[in-house]
Structure formats: structure tokens, C-alpha cells
Amino acid sequence: MRTTKHGLSEKEIELVQLLMADCQTTGDVQAKLKKLFAGTIEQMLDAEMDEHLGYEKNSVAGNNSGNSRNGYGTKTISSDYGECEIAVPRDRNGEFEPKVIEKRQTRTDEIEQKIMAMYAKGMSQRDIEDTLRDIYGSEISQGMISRITDKILPQVNEWQNRPLDSIYPVVFFDGIVFNSRKDNKIINKCVYSVLGINMDGQKEILGTWISENESASFYASICADLNNRGVSDIFIACHDNLTGLCDAITSIFTKTKNQLCIVHQIRNSCKFVPYKDRKAVCADLKKIYGAVNLDDAEYAKEEFREKWDRKYPNILKSWDKNWAELTVFFEYPTDIRKIIYTTNAVESYHRAVRKFTKSKAIFPTDDSIRKVIYMSAEEISKKWTMPVRDWGLAYAQFAIFFEDRFTA
């Protein structure tokens, strides 16, 4: 059978030639496809009616059958071809339940899938509404778009409550703030994300939790949720120095080491240092966290104290207070150190989330936040196809340092 370079059969070529007849522009082709789409749907509905009644149209088999055709109703359907009106057959008993276009359905699945795809890419409901109107001529309200995207809420809940691995060598904790509406006021909502590195070295968002206030009890509820979903051990937890988070983690995961983010510590240290001294201060701080071992780091810290403590006494107060948690990474070889000394992995994820949500200035509900975070996470994680760099070496070192807790 002859085919074109696009794989069309002879019958399909004939159909294309019929479509080309009297067509001068792509708009003419689109109009014909629209009619063809409507006609095909109507024929499928008629076939469904035949099956429902048990006999074909005008067949004598329908005489005294107890049910019969009762004309047609009209319905406007939004599809890839725009809006088109179709005739929907009816039966006298009102029992006909079409499948190809269900009762009260006004959009094809393809339109809903496109709405979901646009929402996942970060488009606002207003932008989606305008796009559908411009491309398909379809009038779909923002409220309808919200109801369509609400269909993924069961998936969101299933994802948030899915079972997790029993062991995660490294887990990162970090929050991102969104504006939300509550009682006609705009408030801040913190969405706290937990990103884990699993035993295969793959990044995985373990879940997201929403709260108006970050507190020790909130962090404890996150850790309890992780534990209830199957996580029994975390080797190292990496996070910013948030009040109560260390205690919340160790209350559930008693053997977990807490590593505070060095990058956050440096930012906080330099927050009130004038520009003229900032470069020199950062260089001397680097001697502390860039030391070969803990002894050298402590020596570099004392040198920093002698040089800068009189001018900037608050810098080392913070380092001294959190020294135990800031220096955990010195206990391990370089390949583990590179993974745990900063929370950049989860911060990079949150930067990507910001790109997906930049058009959404205010979220009306927590569910609207959950939807967009879930869809953003799904899109972002598609790129996480490879394990973290040099995971093979890090894995071997984890196996040595955590031998009694390690499961290959």
C-alpha cells in the first residue's frame, strides 16, 4: 500500500484530498476539520444510541420495544478545533447515557489536558482563560479552570501521603513563602519542602507542608509525618538555623546529625558588614569552613576573632553558639562534605518553583498552593534523571561511616 513520507495510507490521502477541495487558506482547512470533528462525534453518539436501544435507526425491531428515539438535543463542545455545536440523540425513557461526550460535558478531554499543562507551566487562570479564547474561541471562566485543576487534588493527597524509603542518607529542609488570602486579608504562608537524597543518589521531594507560622511544633509534625510514612533513619539533616528544627528532627530521628547550612551562616555573618570590609571578612571566614579538618577550622576561627572581633563582635557569637552543628561536615571525607555543607539542593528547587509561580501573586486557598506546588514538583523532577555528582564515592563512604545503620 502506497504511503507518504508522513506514513499516510491511500485512504488517508483521499481524505486529505477531500479536505483540500475548496480550501484556500489554513483557516478553511480548520473550518472543515471542525465540521468533520462534529460529524464524527454525532455518528459515534448515534452508534451508542443503537447499542443502547438494541436496534438501528428506522429498524422494525424497535416496534413495541418499550423505548425509542426521541429526536435530538443540541450541545456546544469546546475542543482543539474551537467551539462547535453537535446534535445529541435522545430516547423517550431518558435512559441514554452517552460515553463519548457525557451528559453535562462541554469540553473534550484534550482541552482539559491543555488547561492542566498550562497550569503546570505556571500560567495564571486569567492567562489560561485568555489563551483558550484567543486560540480556540472557547469561553472558559476562571472558576471553571479552577474546578478543572481541582481534579488533581486526589493525586496531590496521594503524593503527599505516599510511602517513603526507610533510609535517606541526606535530607534537606527549607521553606518558601507565598502570599495567600485569608478573611479578606493578605497573609504570608510558608510552604516547607523536604528534599531527600535516596540510596541511589537520586533527589526526591518527600513532601510539602503549609503553615502560617514556623515553629518547633510545626517542624515536629513534619518529622512525625515522615516517620509515619516509613522513614526510619536519616543519616544527616541539612537546614538553616531555624529555632526548634534541630530538636524536632532529633526527637524523631534520634541518631541523625544536624548540619547547618554554611552559606546561610556566611550571609548572616556579612549582613551588617560594610561593603569596604565585606571581601576581607568573607575571605577570612572561608579559612574557617574551608579548613582541612576541625582543628584547623578552630585555629582559623581564633585568628578571625583576633582580627575582627573588636570591630564586628556579633559575627563569631553566632559561629560559637552553633559551632557543633556548623562543623559536622568535618567528620566526613570530601565527597560527603560537598553534598551536606549547604542546602543549595533544596534552594535550587525552590528557585525553580518560583519560576513556575511568578505569575500567581496571591493564592486564594491552601489547596491552590498545594496544586501548583505539586505540579511544579512534577515538572521539575522530570530533569532529575541522574544521581548527585560522584555519588558512587559518597555511597561507599556512607557505607563505612554508617555501617551499623547502612542497608545496601
Are 104 and 164 in contact by the 8 Å Cβ rule? The answer is no
| pLDDT at residue 354 in the model | 87
| pLDDT at residue 1 in the model | 43
Q: Are residues 29 and 128 in the same domain?
A: no
| pLDDT at residue 140 in the model | 63
Write the pLDDT tens digit of every residue in 201-227: 999 999 999 987 778 889 999 999 999
Q: Is residue 395 part of a domain?
A: yes
Q: Is residue 116 part of a domain?
A: yes
Torsion of CA 217, 223, 225, 231, to 10 degrees: -170
What are the residues whose beta carbons fall under 8 Å from the beta carbon of 279, sequence distance 6 or more?
none
Alpha-carbon span 337 to 343, nearest angstrom:
12
| Stated pTM of the model | 0.71
Q: Are residues 278 and 211 in the same domain?
A: yes
| pLDDT at residue 252 in the model | 94
Write the pLDDT tens digit of every residue in 152-204: 788 889 999 999 999 999 999 998 888 887 777 888 888 999 999 999 999 99
Q: Are residues 98 and 119 in the same domain?
A: no
Q: Are residues 179 and 127 in the same domain?
A: no
Q: Are residues 144 and 154 in the same domain?
A: yes
Q: Are residues 81 and 230 in the same domain?
A: no
| pLDDT at residue 326 in the model | 93
Q: How many domains does the chain have?
A: 3
Q: Are residues 328 and 361 in the same domain?
A: yes
| pLDDT at residue 4 in the model | 47
| pLDDT at residue 288 in the model | 94
* Residue 393, φ and ψ in degrees, nearest 5: -70, -45
Q: Are residues 180 and 51 in the same domain?
A: no
Range of the domain at 33: 1-55+69-105
Q: Is residue 236 part of a domain?
A: yes
Q: Are residues 224 and 337 in the same domain?
A: yes
Q: Are residues 314 and 208 in the same domain?
A: yes
Q: Is residue 156 part of a domain?
A: yes
Q: Are residues 173 and 155 in the same domain?
A: no
Exposure on the CB side of residue 219, measured as CA atoms within 13 A: 23
| pLDDT at residue 5 in the model | 47
Q: Is residue 63 part of a domain?
A: no
Q: Are residues 241 and 335 in the same domain?
A: yes
Q: Is residue 62 part of a domain?
A: no
SS3 173: strand
Which residues in 135-225 belong to E strands, given as ranges?
Answer: 167-182, 185-197, 203-211
Q: Is residue 124 part of a domain?
A: yes
Determine whether 193 is exposed, middle or buried from the number of CB atoms within 10 Å of its CB (0-12, 13-18, 19+): buried
Long-range contacts of 145-149 (CB under 8 A, 24+ apart): 145/115, 145/119, 146/368, 148/112, 148/115, 148/116, 149/115, 149/116, 149/119, 149/371
Q: Is residue 31 part of a domain?
A: yes
Listed as ranges, residues in the chain with pLDDT below 70 are: 1-41, 43-44, 60, 62, 64, 78-83, 99-102, 104-116, 119-125, 128, 131-145, 148, 359-361, 407-408
